[in-house]
A and B are shown apart, each in its own frame.
Chain A
Amino acid sequence: MIRNKVMRLFVGFALGLFVSLGVAQAGEAIEGSAKADKLESCVRDTPFMRRNHFELIEHQRDITVHEGIRKTDSSIAGCIDCHVRRDAEGQPVPINAPGEFCATCHTRAAVTLDCFSCHATVPTPINPAPELLEEVKAHAAGMDPEIIEKAHAGMESGSAKQVTGN
């Protein structure tokens, strides 16, 4: 039930775009709603993170994919889980939506990431509930490519334009 709820939020979020309410439909993220906001420090000290966070995740990426190491504090799933903010409804706001954690600096620094063309931008359950899948499929079947594109554009960090999936 609870898991369904999360899935519904997640699906609802994605489909919110479909009913063309835009990313903002997830609601304004609430200041201080991320786990990280209640914590003292990041997985490394803050200056280090500012300068080297990408090396950290990229290293993690390689050792997870090639060596199977999952016991770590620097997985990309972990960054998202701790840093993602929530709206008034408690829905997670995509980590790369404009103004959100992984987007703000990158927009400023004109860095474009392709990570989120594959990686989920909100924490999702490991197995979506089957009932919800029907709903997803029903919607996905009618998913207009343009909407998909808009969704990606909205989710892509920063305003810098990039073709999704690269």
Chain B
Amino acid sequence: MSKQTDQGRRDFLSRAATAAAATTVAPGVFLHSVADAAPRAEPVTSKVRWGMLIDTTKCADGCTACVEACDVENGLDLIGKPEGASDAEWERQRPRWIREVKLKDNLTDRITTMPMLCQHCEFPPCVDVCPTGASFRRADGLVLVDRHTCIGCRYCMMACPYKARSFIHENVLLKSTAVPRGKGCVESCTFCVHRLDQGETTTACQDACSKDGHQAIIFGDLKDPNSAVSQAMSKYPTVEVRADLKLNTGVRYTGL
């Protein structure tokens, strides 16, 4: 029994272990495009900007693979409905990092389905308004919340034009090591930062979408002209949601 557990734990830690080995092989060498996992040793820099391209024409109506994958990856489904909460109210209060929306064009009636998530703006309104600086933009373009300094004022949620953020309304009993969370802080999509910092280059939503054969989500480094996401963006016309606000979002859409 205890042997099995040890093995299980090794499984849990295997990622970190291989990674550590990989870095010892080439100490000091750091390439952002390396595919083999290695925990980051150097601070992130602005040489990389993580971004995402969502092809709405490939996004299937009724498919929620990305949403479910995000929930599992980030432990969002470990949060239970508190006893006594009504279902309807709970749905409004539970956190969501990515969601499906379905749009109808007012003129042409054309239907579009697409996922909405934190757009990882270059000029994020949430960061501007945060009184303590807990909302911040990491050098590599991720817009994150430092939940050690978040006081739970929710001004960022007021400021976000995409309604991308959630507040944790309840005590969190089941916790995961990779994605900690607790009552009273605001959070939102991190582009699976715990993966990226281990040297991985995909997000859970992207993996799920590919696995289902849609390939609607391409994720990668916007500053690397050879990355899949840059290549795709140079080929198709892309739009920002609420481009009028000039936030230079890291998430772009085609076919919208």
Contact = CB atoms under 8 A, between A and B. Distances in A.
Interface of A: 2-3, 5-6, 9-11, 14, 61-72, 77, 80-81, 86, 89-92, 114, 117-121, 123-128, 130, 133, 136-137, 139-145, 148-149, 151-152, 164-166
A120 B177 contact: yes
B180 A2 contact: no
A45 B183 CA distance: 35
Indicate the member of B44, B171, B177, B178 with the most A CB atoms within 10 Å: B177
Given A127-B72, A165-B171, A143 B80 contact: yes
Given A89-B1, A136-B78, A140-B173, 4 more contacts: A68-B140, A136-B80, A143-B80, A165-B183
Contact of A9 (B5, B171, B180, B198): B5
A152 B173 CA distance: 8
B161 to A, nearest CB: 24
Contacts of A144: 83
A126 B178 contact: yes
Nearest to B77: A133
Interface size, B (range): 35 or more
Contact of B44 (A2, A67, A118, A130): A67
Contacts of B2: 86, 89-90
A133 B99 CA distance: 20
Interface string B1-18: 111111111011101000
Interface of B: 1-9, 11-13, 15, 19-20, 23, 38-44, 72-73, 75, 77-84, 136, 138-140, 144, 146-148, 171-178, 180-185, 193-194, 196-198
Contact of A119 (B8, B40, B175): B175
A47 B248 CA distance: 50
A64 B197 CA distance: 9
A63 B148 contact: no
A124 B176 contact: yes
Contacts of A69: 40-43, 197
A17 B219 CA distance: 41
Contact of B193 (A63, A68, A148): A68
A130 B174 contact: no
A10 B178 CA distance: 14
Contacts of B73: 127
Indicate the member of A61, A80, A133 with the most B CB atoms within 10 Å: A133
Contacts of B194: 126
Given A68-B43, A140-B78, A124 B8 contact: no
Contacts of A164: 171, 183
A152 to B, nearest CB: 6
Indicate the member of B4, B40, B139, B173 with the most A CB atoms within 10 Å: B173
Contacts of A149: 171
B180 A119 contact: yes
Contacts of B84: 145
Contacts of A92: 5
A151 B176 CA distance: 16
B4 A68 contact: no
Contacts of B11: 2-3, 6, 125
B174 A136 contact: yes
B171 A68 contact: no
A124 B12 contact: yes
